[in-house]
Structure 1
Amino acid sequence: MNAGVDRIGWERFAGIGERLTRAMIASVSSGRSLLWLLAAFIVGCGVWMLLPLSKGNSARGEPIYAELPSVEEAAASAKPAAELPPSTTQAAAELDRLRISSQTWRRGGLGSKALVTFTLRNDNDYAIRDVEIVCAFTRRDGSRLTERTRVLADIVSMKSRKTFAHVPVGFVNVNADQAKCSLVTARRA
């Protein structure tokens, strides 16, 4: 009678042993696949480190905005309509009769994005569109941090003004305290 009970007990243990062996083989094969994945990741990181730096990366810790012109240079480099080629003379607007009458800014996007609100005044005898602005962000002491450019596709009618509210101009430095926006170019509508 005891022999029958022992035989049933051993059959149970034998089934557990087979299942345990299968589980161990499966874990070893999944462990090997994890090792292959880790090896591929290490090789990928090595190849990435060997690639040359792009223009946006700085090897010596140089600021990225060093290549951008200042707000005054950007406004000075905008050509008046008389100097433009004949094909674009009709499309360019006169910037001397276009101005930003008021402007404010605040942070958005968890404090990393700048949202600028400004009023654009058009004293020209024609409507304008594709207004390009550049906003310079500075610290409290006046040192320049970041400059961002934005093109506004809206149309501003002739002899009118239009308020652009909470226009996202891009990411700004966390130390930015002041903003000054200027006009760069505009086109006739």
Structure 2
Amino acid sequence: MNARLGRIGLGRFAGSGERLARTVTIASVSFGRGLLWLLAAIIVGCGIWMLLPLSKGNSAEPEKKLAAVETVPSDAPTAAVSQASEAQTPAMAELGRLRISSQTWRRGGLGSKALVTFTLRNDNDYAVKDVEIVCAFTRRDGSHLTDRSRVLADSVSMKSRKTYAQIPIGFVNVNADQAKCSLVAARRA
């Protein structure tokens, strides 16, 4: 190719064009390899990140909260408080005459989120705030699927009731058919 362009006087441009083409090819191959290494590093990092919560043991934490709620009978709050652990005593003492009087749930967010509607009834002589609820979701056959918790920063006045409509609790399994919500903690307002 240089021979033909040499007669016209463009031989030096033809040689630089070939060098430029080689340089672009080498750069594109190096860039492609770099992208493959970056993709591999991202996949490995995501895999490690997915395994980290399992090694810390955080998956059993909501079950511990639910077990603490089940040990508190609604008719004898003072005896149950003495059996509770020291860390949970101040929060559980506020649950004495606080209860969920009615509850329903439905799916939202393309069927992946649980929206719970419930009425809190406060028969105490004081207002409560920061009410924490835990909802246990089960299959049709009654087997347990998952627990989700939520803290409601709103306060409930003394000797009153308050209805919370369609509160998003969290993501639920597609097979979830029933939900049972319980009170975990509350504080004086």
Q: How does the TM-score come out when normalised to structure 2?
A: 0.72
Q: What does the per-residue CA deviation read over 1:86-135, in whole Å, with 9 as the maximum and x for residues that have no partner?
A: 9x977764423111111111112222111111110101111001111110
Partner of 1:148: 148
The amino acid that maps onto 1:39 is W
Change (3 A) 1:123 1:112: same
Answer 1 or 2: which has greater helix percent.
Answer: 2
The correspondence for 1:68, drawn from 46, 63, 67, is: 63
Deviation of 1:53 (Å): 4.1
Q: In 2, distance between residues paired with 1:109 and 1:56?
A: 27
Partner of 1:39: 37
CA RMSD in angstroms comes to 4.0
Q: In 2, distance between residues paired with 1:7 and 1:94?
A: 93
Q: Which moved more, 1:12-21 or 1:135-144?
A: 12-21
Q: In 2, distance between residues paired with 1:65 and 1:84?
A: 19
Deviation of 1:169 (Å): 1.2
Partner of 2:52: 54
Does residue 1:26 correspond to 2:18, yes or no? no
Structure 2: tracts of 5 or more residues without a match: 74-78
Q: In 2, distance between residues paired with 1:25 and 1:147?
A: 58
Q: What does the per-residue CA deviation read over 1:65-103, in whole Å, with 9 as the maximum and x for residues that have no partner?
A: 5972484543326995667899x9777644231111111
The amino acid that maps onto 2:165 is A
Give the secondary structure class of the aligned counterpart of 1:124.
Answer: coil
Q: In 1, distance between residues paired with 2:105 and 2:7?
A: 79
Change (3 A) 1:155 1:50: closer
Q: Which moved more, 1:14-23 or 1:155-164?
A: 14-23
Mapping for residues 39-188 of structure 1, pairs under 5 Å: 39-42=37-40, 53-56=51-54, 64=59, 68-69=63-64, 71=66, 73-76=68-71, 93-188=93-188
Give the secondary structure class of the aligned counterpart of 1:133.
Answer: strand
Q: How does the TM-score come out when normalised to structure 1?
A: 0.72
Change (3 A) 1:48 1:35: same
> Identity over the aligned pairs, expressed in percent?
52
Q: In 1, distance between residues paired with 2:62 and 2:162?
A: 32
Change (3 A) 1:98 1:47: closer
Q: What does the per-residue CA deviation read over 1:34-90, in whole Å, with 9 as the maximum and x for residues that have no partner?
A: 2234235446656776899424369xxxxx55972484543326995667899x977
Q: Which moved more, 1:146-155 or 1:32-41?
A: 32-41
